[in-house]
Every structure is written in structure tokens, then in C-alpha cells.
Amino acid sequence: MMHAADTPTLPKNLPDLCVRCATCMAVCPVSRVTPLFPGPKQAGPGAQRFRSASQVSVDDWIELCTACRLCDTVCPAGVPISELNLMAKAKYRDERGGTLRDWLLVRSDRFGELFSRFSAIVNPLMKQRAVRWLLDKALGIDRRRELPAFDSPTFRRWFRNRPVAADAASRPTIAYFYGCFTNTNDVDVGKAAVVCLEAHGYTVSVPHQRCCGIPRLGVGDLRGAREMGLRNLSLLLPKVREGTDIVFSSTSCGMMLRHEYGPLLDLPGAEELATHLFDICAFLLRLQEEKQAPLSYRRLEAKAAYFTPCHLRSLNEGLPALELLRLVPGLDVRLIEAECCGLGGLYGFKKEKYAITAEVGKDLAKEVARMKPDVILTDCEGCRMQIRHLTGMRVLHPLQLLRDALPPADTPADIGAVPNRSPA
């Protein structure tokens, strides 16, 4: 007998599911550092009971929710708390209009391509105190927050120009959703992803893609997020229909593509995409577990600390990167016991929110100081930026370290070692 079918789907947007138990208050990273945000119980279902479509929003503290979604992962009643917050943010934005800052920040994919081309000029410029002062005063982009440097060439360009392996056509194909940040600011993550997938016998393809849309969602721009979603679906679904699965290396992009396109944005074809979309570490781990002869990683003597991005918790796949890293002999990898890095994506670049993100990050920084690792690993680019900012340490995507541990025969000669990237 199969009971799945007779269980009704959870109702959406129903604040009355909330039993006011306050478990969410035990995990919210924001309400523990500032009384300005009342916390998920009050901001989500609590306030939702008083919100009316016909009345002007009065709860501007809703902007302080970072959309980490940790509340959703602990609620015993299945209340879609972060979604309630998001809808409230969207209504707020509809009433007041978007800001120039948001307009600029959510288009970092487009600007990124341009800046990457002129990285020799842009990167030094972005470190100029006068420029940062101007961005701070005119746009409210906090000058204490390092802006990520741009790589040149982009990941896409690098990929297009590399030689195709002779046996590429005979291998199974996997498509890679690299995400904007990998493309223009962290190209090495993309390179590592390609090398790791190839080491497992795959031919990698990189379908055309746009920003997943999560930055737009974060500022309450539901229409913009939908638009990005529709574009990506039209670019990615043909791959899926050819029988190619897709992997992502950014947990935030992945969470958006897999769990927001359908359930939240209700985009046609979202479910079809979701069933063929995998976290790259979960995908590699499955290959290791299922393959007759799994890759045996080389010995790497290092003390690593792994941090769980909030959106990996929402993906709800466990800790595949940590499990993969545990397969590397000699690598002493431990979990950082902290709930959230505090950046919240674009949130952490905003002047009025900087203090909150810094305070949330303190817990993580304290834990890192206690652990004294050689390297910190995490799947999310936002977490990596924030942890570099907090600790000044070397912070990598787990794939960058796994690439170093691949057996020599499988590592193509034209790939350099992991760059020891100093804090941006």
C-alpha cells in the first residue's frame, strides 16, 4: 500500500497553522541580535493575521528578515514562515517602489560580465576609498563590506576556450548551472566543478543561463524573480528533455531553481526541472556510493572546518559536501557549530543592515577562532565572502579542495592548483 497520495499537500500562506510554539525563535539569526526585528513568529504568521491587501503596510521591520529560511526548517506545524515574510516584503516594495540600490545590486549578473572584461580597471577602483565613500553615501552600500573582485576571463569564456577531450562524445553528459558569482567572481569554483565531474567520467556542458533570480526575490521583487525563472526554464528545460541532468555548485541558486520556481513562483515546467536538478556534492557523493569502483582520493594533510549554508539546510539533503570531504584521507574536517553566517546575500551589503550581519557573524567567527582550521570550506558564495570578511582566512568551495585530492591520473594537466586567494 502506498500512503503518499492520500496525504493532502500543505496549505500555503496560512498563518493559522501556527500554534505559537516559538521554536522558530530558537533559530532566527536576526532576532537574537537586534530587538528591531520581532522574530519569525511575530513577523511571519503573527503579523500576517493583521495584514490586509487593501491596507498600507505598517511593518517596515519586515525588511530585516534575511530570508535565511532557518525558521521553515524547524517549524513543527509546517508554517511557510519565510514565504509569509517574503510576501510582506513584496507588498511593501509594491507600495513604495524599488530603490536605485536594489535595481543595481540585483543586476550584478549583467554588470558582472562587463566588469569582468575590465577587471584590471574595476578591481582597483572598487578598493578606492573615494569610490567606497561615494557608494556608501550615495547608494547606501556599506563601505566596510569588501566588494568581490572580478575574474577575467569569465568561467563561461574559460570553458568555451578549453580543448574538448577526445572521448567526450562517448561519455555521459552532465549540465552545469554555475551561477553568476562563479562566472564572474569565483571562476576557480567552476573550474573545480568541471574537473571533478570529468574525473568521474562525465562530459560537462554549460547551457546558457541567467541569474537564478534569488537576489530579486530577496528585495521583494517577485515579478523580476519570475522573469528570471521563466528565462532559465526556457534555457534549461531543453537540456532536461534531451535526458541531461543538471548540477549546481551554489546552494542558493540551487534552492531557488529547485524549490522556489515551483512552489512559490508557480512557473510552468518548474517541477520537471526540479526532478533533474542536483546539488553537485550530493551528485558526486551518490556516484561514490553507487559506483562499483569509487574514486579513491589522494591524501591531503590539512585541518578543515566546514560551514553549512542556510540554503543547504533548506535544500534538505543533509551535508553531502562534508561526507565527500570525509572520504579524503588525512583531511581532518569538522563542522562549524554556528547557525548562520549572517550575510543574507545582498542584505549584508546594505549600510543600515551591516551591523546586524556583523553581529550575527560573531558566533561563527568565535567558533572558527576556537577550531583554528587551516582552511574553511562552504558551498555558498555569500558565506565565503562573509567568512573571509570575519576571519581573514582562506575560504574555499569544497570542490576546490576535492579537486586537489583527485587521483593524479584523472587530473587534466592544464588545470592549476587552488589559488590561495587572499580576502577580497
Partner 1 sequence: MKRWDLIVIGAGLAGLTAARTAVDMGAQVLVVGRGMGSLALFGNTIDVLGRIKPAEDMEAGVAGWIAAHPEHPYARTGWPGISEALDAFRDLFPPPYTFDAVGGGNSLVPTGAGTLRPTYLLPVTMAAGAGISAADTLIVGLKGFKDFQGDTVSLHLQCRGVNLSLPRYGLEGLTALGLARLMDEVPFRESLGEAIRRQMAGEQRIGLPAVLGLTAPAEVLRTLEAVTRAKVFEIPMLPPSIPGTRMFHRFRQHLIARGATFLLGNPVTGADVKEGRCEEVILQNPPLLNHHRADRYILATGRFLGGGLQAGMEKISEPLFHLPVHQPDRRGKWFGERFFQTEAHPIHCAGIVTDADLRPIDAGGKAVLKNVWVAGSILAHHQMIDEHSHQGIDIATGYLAARRALAS
Query: Where does this chain bind partner 1 (CB under 8 A)?
Result: 1-5, 7, 9-10, 19, 21-23, 25-28, 31-33, 35, 39, 72-78, 258-259, 262-263, 270-271, 274-275, 286, 289, 313-314, 316-319, 322-323, 326, 334-335, 337, 363, 366
Please report how close the Cβ of residue 344 comes to partner 1 at its closest, in angstroms.
17
Instruction: Indicate the residue among 271 and 419 with the shorter CB distance to partner 1.
Output: 271
Q: Are strands 375-377 and 173-177 parallel, antiparallel or unpaired?
A: unpaired
Please report how close the Cβ of residue 27 comes to partner 1 at its closest, in angstroms.
8
Which value, to the nearest 10 degrees, does the dihedral of the CA atoms of residues 24, 27, 32, 34 take?
-70
Please report how close the Cβ of residue 261 comes to partner 1 at its closest, in angstroms.
8
Please report how close the Cβ of residue 328 comes to partner 1 at its closest, in angstroms.
15
Instruction: Indicate the residue among 263 and 423 with the shorter CB distance to partner 1.
Output: 263
Element (DSSP H or E) covering residue 273: helix 270-274
User: CA 64, CA 89: separation in Å to the nearest integer?
Assistant: 10
User: CA 26, CA 73: separation in Å to the nearest integer?
Assistant: 12
Instruction: Indicate the residue among 258 and 397 with the shorter CB distance to partner 1.
Output: 258
Look at residues 93, 121, 95, 117 and name the one whose alpha carbon lies nearest to residue 106. 93
Contact of 333 with 306, CB cutoff 8 Å: yes
Please report how close the Cβ of residue 1 comes to partner 1 at its closest, in angstroms.
6
Instruction: Indicate the residue among 72 and 151 with the shorter CB distance to partner 1.
Output: 72
- Residues in Cβ contact with 301 at an 8 Å cutoff, skipping those fewer than 6 apart: 330, 331
In this structure, what DSSP letter does residue 20 have?
Answer: -
Instruction: Indicate the residue among 33 and 135 with the shorter CB distance to partner 1.
Output: 33
Element (DSSP H or E) covering residue 314: helix 310-315
In this structure, what DSSP letter does residue 350 have?
Answer: B
Sheet harboring 277-279: ordered strands across? 203-205, 173-177, 245-248, 277-279
Question: Which grid coordinates are listed for 119?
Answer: 577587471
Please report how close the Cβ of residue 164 comes to partner 1 at its closest, in angstroms.
33
Q: How many angstroms separate the first and last alpha carbons of the chain?
A: 56
Instruction: Indicate the residue among 363 and 381 with the shorter CB distance to partner 1.
Output: 363
User: CA 330, CA 298: separation in Å to the nearest integer?
Assistant: 9
Please report how close the Cβ of residue 10 comes to partner 1 at its closest, in angstroms.
8
User: CA 281, CA 279: separation in Å to the nearest integer?
Assistant: 6
Instruction: Indicate the residue among 271 and 374 with the shorter CB distance to partner 1.
Output: 271
Please report how close the Cβ of residue 5 comes to partner 1 at its closest, in angstroms.
8
Instruction: Indicate the residue among 190 and 309 with the shorter CB distance to partner 1.
Output: 309
Compute CA distances 178 → 155, 171, 185, 272, whole Å. Answer: 8, 21, 11, 19
